[in-house]
Amino acid sequence: MVVYNSRLNSWHCPCSKTRRSCAHIYVAKWHLFQEQSDLFRTVRSTEEMDPIAGTIEHERLGDTDEKGVTSPTYPPKGDGLNSMVKYILRKKKVPAVLPEHLRLPSKELQYPRYIIPEEMMCQICPGNVPLSEPILITDKARILTSFGIVQNVSTYCKRCPDCEVYYRYQEWKDGVHNFSDHILLDLPLCIKLRNLLQVHTAVSRAVDYIQLNTGVRFPSKDTVLHGYLHFEALTDHEYKYSCVTCGDHPAVVIMDLHKKAAFHLSITDLGGPPHNYTGEVDIEKFWDALTMEMIGRGFVKSSKHNPFAVPPTYHFWAPWIGPCTRKADIVLNTEFAKMHAPKSTAEVEELTVTEERLTDELSKQKVGVIRNLCRECGLDSRGSRSDLLLRLSSEMKTRQAYDKVFEKIWAASGGWAVVMCPCGIVYSIKHNIRAESPRDFADILLSWRHMPNVVIYDFARYRVVFRINTRHLACAHELRFT
């Protein structure tokens, strides 16, 4: 019942919910002192611990010591969380190519039952500052695998007494990836999800398949997706992706919009850019910020509480262009100019969307978005999805309500602007904040190191021709470009 850890010189009894001793511990101390008195010592050992020990004495989060001091909460907030995430991003990269015994699934793989950080000394403070004893985060953690779930895994953290930075387990050599200290994924499952995505199978469908195959209920699909993205954010990818025929600088490109990737965002929720914004964005800083957001998801309950979240803004939103294809890390994003571009009468007539098409787009939205639209239009927001759609369809008979729904649903659904070579290899991609415009593709091409000779772009609603040379790209309203 009572466990004594000789390396930590610590005691544990399951009946004691705090760090205070109980009667069982005192009896055990008396017994061991009679039998093996040499086990007792007064100096805490800093030797390396066995991470798969049978039982580990620990301090629990929120415990109160003999002086009535309660241990800090985990995960930390503010500067503590920022230091922890930056340390993980800098020091805990997963290699792009994993060893075969960690990459291939196997039922014989033994998973650790005690997940303890390997750091013994603080990596931030100068000198050798020993970390605290392992602090139990939870003993109900789960490891998700392709064959089921490993239950009742104990995860621990350590804390520096000087800088108060926490350290958690974030290694890959044991074949597991720590997402949130409560949910861990084994590496073969992460590799399987990556391969399924490359053959156009969504993570949600992969989870459904595993659940049907094993008969075990997994966590929510969003949790599994965020755990996989956490793994990819920490993977040390080397971007050397280009067409074997066209190279890094294709002479012919095809540009188009992928509408199904549009996110739900109202134009009215976006503010304008700073007055001194010139349309230039650092692509490396932007994608590093997105990587920090993915890693930060492992420490918060939801994306709303993520301090590293990157909301869409006109001045900090960049496309992805490969390092060999772009001419510099500073790329263009002039979507803010769409806010001020007045439309002529002819253009307004061409851009008019019929009520049927707007209703079809409205039916693709989530129920929460439809309810908010009903409230803004002064309609009853109760009832089923069909009831809400019928009320909005009736209300859209008036021009004022039609314009409001159009602004919320159509005008803000930007989609993905994609530039690829004739072989189908994508060279640039951008998630548009607002509706598609030739400006989005012009920004991408102007950020390339070498301008393509031929651009194929179907945007028949505008009369546009691209004049292309190696230095600049201009739009002239002379010919219809199809």
In the prediction, which pLDDT does 390 show?
79
In the prediction, which pLDDT does 231 show?
96
CA 230 to chain centre: 6
Give the residue extent of every domain in the chain.
3-45, 79-236, 252-341+414-476, 354-409
**Is residue 276 very low, low, confident or very high in pLDDT (cuts 50, 70, 90)?**
confident
User: What is the rounded CA–CA span in Å between residue 454 and residue 458?
Assistant: 13
In the prediction, which pLDDT does 255 show?
93
Residues 257/260/264/269 CA torsion (nearest 10 deg): 0
Given a contact cutoff of 8 angstroms between Cβ atoms, the answer to whether 169 and 182 are in contact is no
Q: What is the mean pLDDT of the chain?
A: 79
User: pLDDT digits over 126-141, tens only?
Assistant: 888 888 889 999 999 9
User: What is the rounded CA–CA span in Å between residue 380 and residue 388?
Assistant: 8
**Is residue 245 very low, low, confident or very high in pLDDT (cuts 50, 70, 90)?**
very high
What predicted TM-score, i.e. pTM, was given to this entire model?
0.71
Residue 218: CB atoms within 10 Å = 18
User: pLDDT digits over 136-170, tens only?
Assistant: 999 999 999 999 999 999 999 999 988 889 999 99
Answer yes or no: is pLDDT of 471 > 80. no
CA 97 to chain centre: 21
In the prediction, which pLDDT does 413 show?
53
**Is residue 252 very low, low, confident or very high in pLDDT (cuts 50, 70, 90)?**
very high
User: pLDDT digits over 84-135, tens only?
Assistant: 999 999 999 999 999 888 888 877 778 888 999 989 889 888 888 888 889 9
